[in-house]
Every structure is written in C-alpha cells, then in structure tokens.
C-alpha cells in the first residue's frame, strides 16, 4: 500500500526528484555536445589534437553514465518515497557527493587533459600519460566521490526495501512465490513492481559500490605511493564489474517509472506477479555476473568465467524481454492508451532497450565477439540502450509528471517532430556506429580507417536532427512546467 503524503511531504519529495532529474539532464546536455564534437572530429568536419579527443572521450563516457544514473536515481527515489518515509537529507548528501565528484572529474579533464578513458583501466592512468599527475588524482578522487554518493543512495534504498517489506525475504517476495496461498490468506500483498527495481538497484548497487571502492582506493593509493603495484587482471575484473553493473543498473532503475507510468496511460492495473518477482531475482544475479563478457580477450582469465559471462548475458535478456517488455506490450494491447510525449517516450524506451540489448547479446556471443570486440559495435549497442532506452524512460517519467500537473499534453505535430527526431535522427546516429562496427572500425580512436570517417559524417547528421528534437523537448518541458505552475499558484 502506498503511503499517503501530505502536501508538504509531497513537495519535499518532488524537490529531491527534480534536483536529481535536472542535474542529470544538465550533465546529459553538456555531454551530448561533447559527443557530437567527437563524431564531427572523426568525420573530419572539425579538427583537434588526438589528445584532446581522448580527454573529451573520457569526459563524455563518465559524464553520460553519471547523467543517466543521477536522473534515474531521482525518479526511483521519488517512487520509493511514495512507499515509505525516507530522509531527504541523505538524498541531498548523496547528490552532493556525486556533484562534487563530477566537478573534480571535469577539472581533471578540462584543466588537466586527463584522457585514460572513463574506465580508468590500470595501468592506463599512470603510464605514457600526456597529462600531469594531479589530473589523475583529481579524476580518481572524483570517481571515488561519485561512488560514495552512489553507495549512500543505494544503502538508503536498501534500508527502504528491507524496512518497508520485511527484510530480504519480504522484499524478494519469497513467501508470495513459494507459499502463495498462505501469503494471500494472511492478507499480505507482495511489493509493487517498482520496489523490485529498488531492491535490485540497492543490492547490486551496494555490491557495485563496494567493488568500486576497492579498485578506487587501490588506484588512489597507487597514485600516492607508486610502489604499491596492482595486479592488472584483478584491476580489470573489478573495474568492469563496477562499470558494467553501474551502467546496467541505470536502466533497471529507470524502468521503475515505466511500471508506474504505462498503466496510468493505458488506464489499466499493473500488479506484481510470480513471473515478475522471479524475473527480478534473475536480474539480481545476472547483473552481477554478466560482466565477464568484457574479458573474453584476456587469455589469462579463468576459462569457466568466460562461459559464465556468456550464459549470464543471454539469461539476463529473458527477464527483460519476457516480463517487462512483453508485459508492457500486453498492457498497451487493446487498451485505451493515451498517446502523449510521456507515453511515447516510455514505449520508445522499451523498443530501444530491446534493440540495444539484442546488439549487446550478439557482442556477448564468444565467436561473434572475436570479430566485434572493441569495434564501434560496442558503442553502437550501449548508445542504443542508453539514448533510446534509459534517456527515453527518464524523459517519459518527466513528461508524465509535467502532463499530470499541467493537465495538458503536447500537440500531435510536436509529438511527430520529436518522434522523428529521436528515432530518425537517433537511428541515423546509431546506424553510423552499427555499420562501422560490423565493418570492423575500431572504437576509441580519434582517427579512424575507412569507412569510419564517412559513417561518422552520417552519424553527425543524425545528431543534428536529434539535437533539434531535444530543443523541442526542452521547450515543451518548459511550457508544460509553466502551465503547471500557473495551475498551482
């Protein structure tokens, strides 16, 4: 049962949510411009030194992940605040740590030219550098601050689900799944779908943060005391555990808004089912162990882990495709769906999730990975997943809030323009990555072999169209917010 908030509490909860959402969108806007400049540079439209490219690539990578994570965190925090009382101060502290970390990273890259890629894979931040040592330190401390903020948020979520639903057993819905009759006869109800997203974000998030702290502190210690030598394979395992799971969790957090939003648009109920609970149990495990697919090329890695990585990558798609996406399609099928920007974004996000996920599973298939590893196929699938998945889910939630509060929706013309921009421009942008990847163009190179530059040009045209759509989205958001403010004044 959802907690009823009085107007003051609701206002405070919304303030937290908007703080996170606006921060996320602001970072996203800055990072999309940096990404655009990188594609233009690869296309030969503009020119800057390769070092500048790698520095901007580092900032773009870590900035985008942080942007979508922060926005998703705000959305999920608000949804769980509707379930139980949460301390807003903690949410602001976590936000403060993340913003402080982001500022440190920006300084390290823009002032110090740090450019070891966002994955800061040991020993790259320390060997053959063109940036000063302080920039490495700023970057590592910045990432550590973001990780502390993330840990605080995840621990608060963990406390939230444990106290609200009766420990791990209750939060998992264990009795609901295995002793259903007795469970229902006792008058209890399982956690709502969005609580499963919170549980997975909390448990895998705390695990991810823990791993991030190990490698983060180890790198900081090595920076201060270079005689402390780190095992590179150990470092790579920890780094990719942290990076993979953190990036994955952004979409699992954001999808909570779809669980709540889509039923409102379809005017139908979306309840927790046994299939949904079990699917999220699977996600809880697969998010943590799929990262091994990043280490296929590391011949010294234990062979069994490679197979675990491949199996987990395949298995992780089942809960997504069969439960969340199929369930959402059934929600829409033959419903009186209200199509607005909010519902379009949510629905489009499901499409992007499936397409990006399919590209990811292909790349996680060992024989295919032999060809696609470290080609532009990799950014192709994760840009699909992030841009046409997470970002659309968060935009969907944002517009649902704005539409409900303003009592107004965008015109059909605006919806078409935004749809064409996101899926036309966005599609063109992504196609540039996919085709180049399939052609074997390597990723993370300032200067690409053919057909990289031509496809980068095509992708840049896509970005221009996408940017136009984003400007329209921004104008619409401001317009709806202004109407909402007038209504509540």
- Minimum distance from residue 321 beta carbon to another protein (Å): 30
Of residues 188-227, which lie at the interface with another protein (CB under 8 A)? 206-207, 210-211, 213-214, 217-218, 221, 225-227
| 86 scored as a contact of another protein (CB under 8 A) | yes
Whether 321 and 371 have beta carbons less than 8 Å apart is answered as: no
- Minimum distance from residue 152 beta carbon to another protein (Å): 5
CB-nearer residue toward another protein: 162 or 468: 162
For 25-41, b/e burial (b = at least 16 CB within 10 A) is: bebbebbbebbbbbbbb
Cα–Cα distance, 14 to 435 (Å, whole number):
42
Distance of CA 11 to the CA centre of its chain: 26
- Minimum distance from residue 148 beta carbon to another protein (Å): 7
CB-nearer residue toward another protein: 101 or 427: 101
| 12 scored as a contact of another protein (CB under 8 A) | no
| 235 scored as a contact of another protein (CB under 8 A) | yes
CB-nearer residue toward another protein: 91 or 418: 91
- Other C-beta atoms closer than 10 Å to the C-beta of 77 total 27
Of residues 162-181, which lie at the interface with another protein (CB under 8 A)? 162-163, 167-168
- Minimum distance from residue 302 beta carbon to another protein (Å): 12
Element (H, E) at 392: helix 391-406
| 16 scored as a contact of another protein (CB under 8 A) | no
Of residues 36-75, which lie at the interface with another protein (CB under 8 A)? none
Q: Of the ranges 50-58, 159-167, 272-280, 281-289, which one interacts with another protein (CB under 8 A)? A: 159-167
- Contacting residues for 4 by C-beta, under 8 A, at least 6 apart: none
Cα–Cα distance, 447 to 456 (Å, whole number):
11
Whether 325 and 357 have beta carbons less than 8 Å apart is answered as: no
| 228 scored as a contact of another protein (CB under 8 A) | yes
| 141 scored as a contact of another protein (CB under 8 A) | no
SS3 at position 191: coil
Cα–Cα distance, 184 to 445 (Å, whole number):
57
CB-nearer residue toward another protein: 221 or 464: 221
Cα–Cα distance, 70 to 63 (Å, whole number):
10
Query: Site for another protein (CB under 8 A): which residue of 180, 182, 231, 271?
Result: 231
CB-nearer residue toward another protein: 169 or 179: 169
| 267 scored as a contact of another protein (CB under 8 A) | no
Query: Site for another protein (CB under 8 A): which residue of 12, 30, 82, 233?
Result: 233
Q: Which two tokens stand for residue 228?
A: 């402390």
Q: Report DSSP state, residue 154.
A: H
| 93 scored as a contact of another protein (CB under 8 A) | yes
Instruction: Provide the phi-psi class of 166: left if phi over 0, else alpha when psi is between -120 and 50, else beta.
Output: left
- Other C-beta atoms closer than 10 Å to the C-beta of 106 total 18
Whether 382 and 356 have beta carbons less than 8 Å apart is answered as: yes
**Where do runs of H (alpha helix) occur along 319-441?**
326-332, 341-363, 366-372, 377-385, 391-406, 412-419, 426-438
Cα–Cα distance, 393 to 397 (Å, whole number):
6
| 155 scored as a contact of another protein (CB under 8 A) | yes
CB-nearer residue toward another protein: 217 or 274: 217
Query: Site for another protein (CB under 8 A): which residue of 148, 200, 289, 395?
Result: 148
Binding interface with another protein (CB under 8 A):
84-87, 89-90, 93, 144, 148, 151-152, 155-156, 158-160, 162-163, 167-168, 206-207, 210-211, 213-214, 217-218, 221, 225-231, 233-235, 238
């Amino acid at each position: 049962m959802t907690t009823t908030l009085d107007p003051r509490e609701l206002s405070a909860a919304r303030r937290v949510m908007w703080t996170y959402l606006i921060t996320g969108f602001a970072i996203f806007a800055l990072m999309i411009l940096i990404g655009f400049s990188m594609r233009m540079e690869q296309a030969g439209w503009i020119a800057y030194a390769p070092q500048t490219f790698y520095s901007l690539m580092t900032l773009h990578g870590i900035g985008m992940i942080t942007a979508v994570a922060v926005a998703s965190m705000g959305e999920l925090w608000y949804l769980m605040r509707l379930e139980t009382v949460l301390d807003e101060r903690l949410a602001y502290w976590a936000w403060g740590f993340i913003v402080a970390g982001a500022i440190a990273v920006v300084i390290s890259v823009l002032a110090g030219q740090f450019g070891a890629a966002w994955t800061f894979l040991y020993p790259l931040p320390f060997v053959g550098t063109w940036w000063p040592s302080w920039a490495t330190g700023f970057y590592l401390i910045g990432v550590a601050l973001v990780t502390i903020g993330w840990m605080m948020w995840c621990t608060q979520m963990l406390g939230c689900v444990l106290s609200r639903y009766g420990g791990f057993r209750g939060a998992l819905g264990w009795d609901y799944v295995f002793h259903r009759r007795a469970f229902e006869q006792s008058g209890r109800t399982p956690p709502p779908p969005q609580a499963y997203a919170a549980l997975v974000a909390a448990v895998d998030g705390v695990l991810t943060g823990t791993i991030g702290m190990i490698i983060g502190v180890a790198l900081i210690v090595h920076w201060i005391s270079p005689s402390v030598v780190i095992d590179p394979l150990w470092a790579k395992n920890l780094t990719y555990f942290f990076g993979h799971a953190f990036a994955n969790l952004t979409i699992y957090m954001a999808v909570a808004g779809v669980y709540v939003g889509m039923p409102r648009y379809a005017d139908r109920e979306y309840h927790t089912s046994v299939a949904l609970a079990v699917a999220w149990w699977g996600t809880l495990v697969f998010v943590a162990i799929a990262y091994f697919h990043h280490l296929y090329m590391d011949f010294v890695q234990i062979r069994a882990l490679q197979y675990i990585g491949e199996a987990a990558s395949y298995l992780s798609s089942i809960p997504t495709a069969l439960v969340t996406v199929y369930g959402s399609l059934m929600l829409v099928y033959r419903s009186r769906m209200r199509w607005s920007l909010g519902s379009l974004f949510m629905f489009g996000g499901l499409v992007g999730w499936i397409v990006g996920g399919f590209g990811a599973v292909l790349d996680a298939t060992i024989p295919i990975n032999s060809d696609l590893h470290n080609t532009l196929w990799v950014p192709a699938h994760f840009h699909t997943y992030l841009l046409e998945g997470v970002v659309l889910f968060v935009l969907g939630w944002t517009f649902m809030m704005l539409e409900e509060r303003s009592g107004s929706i965008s015109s059909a013309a605006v919806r078409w323009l935004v749809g064409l921009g996101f899926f036309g421009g966005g599609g063109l942008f992504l196609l540039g990555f996919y085709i180049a990847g399939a052609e074997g163009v390597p990723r993370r190179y300032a200067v690409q072999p053919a057909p990289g530059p031509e496809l980068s040009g095509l992708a840049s045209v896509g970005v221009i169209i996408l940017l136009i759509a984003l400007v329209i989205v921004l104008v619409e958001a401001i317009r709806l917010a202004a109407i909402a403010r007038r209504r509540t004044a």
